[in-house]
Amino acid sequence: MRAVSAVGIIMFAVAGCTPSTPQNADSAADTPSRATAAALVNSNPTVESAIAFISEAEARLAEEREYGIRAAWVHANFITPDTTWLLARADSQFTELSVRLANETKRFERLDLPDEIERKMNILRTGITLPVPSTPGAADEIAGITAELASSYATGHADLNGETVGLDELEQILDRSRDPQLLAKAWAAWRTIARPMADSYARMIELASAGAKELGFSDLAEMWLSTYGMSAADMEAEVERLWGQVKPLYEELHCHVRAELSDFYGENVQADQGLIRADLLGNMWAQQWSNIYDLVAPAQSTLDLDLTTILQESGYTERKMIETGEAFFTSLGLAPLADSFWEQSLIKQPADRVVECHASAWDIDQVDDLRIKMCTQINAEDFQTVHHELGHSFYSRAYARQDFLFRDGAHDGFHEAIGDFVALSITPEYLQRIGLIEDVPDADADIGLLMQQALDKIAFLPFGLLVDKWRWQVLRGTVGPAQYNDAWWELRRQYQGVEPPVARGSGDFDPGAKFHIPGNTPYLRYFLAFILQFQFHEAACEMAGWEGALHRCSIYGNEAVGKRLNAMLELGASVPWSVALATFTGQRQMDGTAIIKYFEPLMGYLKERNEARQCGW
């Protein structure tokens, strides 16, 4: 949710993406020299020449990467036509190199390669988000489009009641207002910025699809799904299996929230049956609903834990927010971040320039130049976000000594899950230990605390799934530009049970109003991360010897858990994700049952509340 990426170089720069430096000293002695490698690469395909090819590819990618990352960092922090041009140029060059190397792997397809080399070949083939065809000028064109789309989103402004407003102002309305007419206007206003993107987006997909076919994939969707080490069909089935495990809890939450919104707004605004109006859910994209907690909170809950107010009254600054997050990781026995993190990160929105405020973690050189970029607010949401972004940073540092192509998460969901898994330990007991509260609420408050969590975690699950379900249709060509918006809302109705507050048509491009669509960040990673973070949490609490309710467990200060966690993080992408998963959890399959266990008390409450209601949509 909070990691930025785009095509080419940026995918090697930011959270959850492969970083770069030359191979570590231990492996360098086993690889041929650059001159020898080049000669072998140009020879007939043999196992020896395949090894030489990989050595040469990793060296070339490492050499090209840092310039592009720095161009991307400057663009995100100083958005101008010039920095957009520089980013597009760097991106084009890196994409051309990546695609050329991916195509060259075809020479070695029939060889019986060592497992490590075969794994690296597969990473080269599948690790490009937007491959480009070999047509002259295609790389420049696609890089220009991606830079244009990213800038259009970052600088987007809309008209609201005669005033020009940006996303921040519109989000504040969606987050806080209870005026249904204003909510509908603000919701619709932001989506006007996406309409001009549609044609460019379609052209970008056309080019990338041609590139995927040149690499030997049937379509771009198959290429995206192949990164998980199984066939596209098997991965889609795996995703549906995981959704089936957690869907009953979402359906109960949807039923309760819809009924409470109907009671508050009245039947004329929100019916107590059918779909929920998306703009009433306290979030611009209706992906997380915690901002309407006050409307749906359990009446009998004694919860009085307003973390936003607590942080502000405790004098927290932007830096203090991040220092507190880092202290959680170091409490697990992990070393502090380098001084350069504090010197180079952007943690507060500047007053003198336009920046991309979407929070992200950056790995500049994979030695000690790790950074985050976020316009930090002193509130509960950003307290969680800080832990999420730092999870990326500690993960990147842990696998820094892996070979270049293995410097990544076990799969992209792992990278997104680590920080959020740690944040599940932000319990009242933890807040007491760090001095933010004096007294821990008793068990009577648990339903309220779980409701707060569910409005973020459970409400997100279908959205996390459907974004790429829509995109897979687009990438396969089964949904064309004229059907973009209709297909988007068909999936949102089917999986989320929400509907737009105002009429939408084929001229709209509502997917483009979500950062990850113009930003070209695959979104399935977030759905998988929400599954994995609870699976990690359950395993960690078992390691810690926790015997109480899962939602009350905090691993803060447990160095034994930290040691086991770091063992998984250090593997990076050097082993199949199932092996990495087993290293920490003992399980080789992703599993959503830990979510059900964590929210078991809330599930009971929701079923009781919904007994007389007509659930479903």
Give per-residue pLDDT as tens, 125-150.
988 899 989 889 998 899 899 989 98
17 — pLDDT class (breaks 50, 70, 90) = very low
Terminal alpha carbon distance of the chain: 27
* CA atoms of 578 and 228, how far apart (whole Å): 10
- Give Cα 35 distance to the centre of its chain: 40
Longest alpha-carbon distance in the chain: 75
**Residue 297 contacts by C-beta under 8 Å, 6 or more apart in sequence?**
303, 448, 451
Residue 572 has pLDDT above 70, yes or no: yes
Contact assessment for residue 390 and residue 560, using Cβ atoms and an 8 Å cutoff: no
Going by C-alpha positions, the residue among 228, 312, 289 that lies closest to residue 462 is 289
Residues 440-465 have pLDDT tens digits of 887 777 899 899 999 999 999 999 99
Mean predicted confidence (pLDDT) in 564-572: 97
37 — pLDDT class (breaks 50, 70, 90) = low
* CA atoms of 617 and 610, how far apart (whole Å): 14
Please tell me the predicted confidence (pLDDT) of residue 15. Answer: 46
Residues 331-349 have pLDDT tens digits of 999 999 999 999 999 999 9
Tokens, residue 574: 């050097």
Give the HSE-up count for residue 326: Cα atoms under 13 Å, Cβ half-sphere: 17
DSSP character at residue 14: B
* CA atoms of 356 and 360, how far apart (whole Å): 10
Residue 11 has pLDDT above 50, yes or no: no
Residue 513 has pLDDT above 50, yes or no: yes
- Unique residue bearing structure tokens 């929070």: 359
DSSP code string of 337-358:
PPHHHHHH-B-S--SSS----S
Mean predicted confidence (pLDDT) in 260-266: 98
Percent of the chain with pLDDT over 90: 75
Pairing of strands 157-160, 163-166: antiparallel
Residue 49 has pLDDT above 70, yes or no: yes
392 — pLDDT class (breaks 50, 70, 90) = very high
pTM: 0.89
Q: How many CB atoms lie within 10 A of CB 339?
A: 9
Residue 443 exposed, middle or buried by CB count within 10 Å (0-12, 13-18, 19+): exposed
Please tell me the predicted confidence (pLDDT) of residue 18. Answer: 31
518 — pLDDT class (breaks 50, 70, 90) = very high
360: left (phi over 0), alpha (psi -120 to 50) or beta: beta
Q: Where are the beta strands (DSSP E) in 467-565?
A: 498-499
**Residue 557 contacts by C-beta under 8 Å, 6 or more apart in sequence?**
331, 332, 433
Mean predicted confidence (pLDDT) in 478-485: 97
Residue 313 exposed, middle or buried by CB count within 10 Å (0-12, 13-18, 19+): exposed
Written in H, E and C, the secondary structure of 428-472 is HHHHHHCCCCCCCCCHHHHHHHHHHHHHHHHHHHHHHHHHHHHHH
Number of H helices, E strands in the chain: 25, 6
* CA atoms of 276 and 269, how far apart (whole Å): 10
| Exposure string for 570-604, b = 16+ CB within 10 A, e = fewer | bbbbbbbbbebbebbbeeeebbbebbeebbebbbe
H/E segment holding residue 393: helix 380-398
552 — pLDDT class (breaks 50, 70, 90) = very high
Please tell me the predicted confidence (pLDDT) of residue 40. Answer: 57
Please tell me the predicted confidence (pLDDT) of residue 150. Answer: 87
Please tell me the predicted confidence (pLDDT) of residue 441. Answer: 80
Residues 276-301 have pLDDT tens digits of 999 999 999 999 999 999 999 998 66
Active-site annotation, residues: 389, 516
Q: How many CB atoms lie within 10 A of CB 2?
A: 22
* CA atoms of 95 and 102, how far apart (whole Å): 10
Residue 501 has pLDDT above 50, yes or no: yes
DSSP code string of 300-329:
T------HHHHHHHTT--HHHHHHHHHHHH
DSSP character at residue 499: E
Residue 86 or 5, more confident = 86
Residue 12 has pLDDT above 50, yes or no: no
DSSP code string of 400-424:
TTS-GGG-S-SSHHHHHHHHHHHHT
Residues 167-200 have pLDDT tens digits of 989 999 999 999 999 999 999 999 999 999 999 9
- Give Cα 495 distance to the centre of its chain: 19
| Exposure string for 401-421, b = 16+ CB within 10 A, e = fewer | bbbbbbbbbbbbbbbbbbbbb
Residue 157, classed as helix, strand or coil, is strand
154 phi/psi in degrees, rounded to 5: -65, -30
Residue 444 or 480, more confident = 480
Tokens, residue 273: 């049956």
Mean predicted confidence (pLDDT) in 254-269: 98
10 — pLDDT class (breaks 50, 70, 90) = very low
Residue 164 has pLDDT above 90, yes or no: yes
Contact assessment for residue 266 and residue 274, using Cβ atoms and an 8 Å cutoff: no
Contact assessment for residue 428 and residue 305, using Cβ atoms and an 8 Å cutoff: yes
Contact assessment for residue 372 and residue 393, using Cβ atoms and an 8 Å cutoff: yes
Give me the residues paired with residue 158 across strands: 165
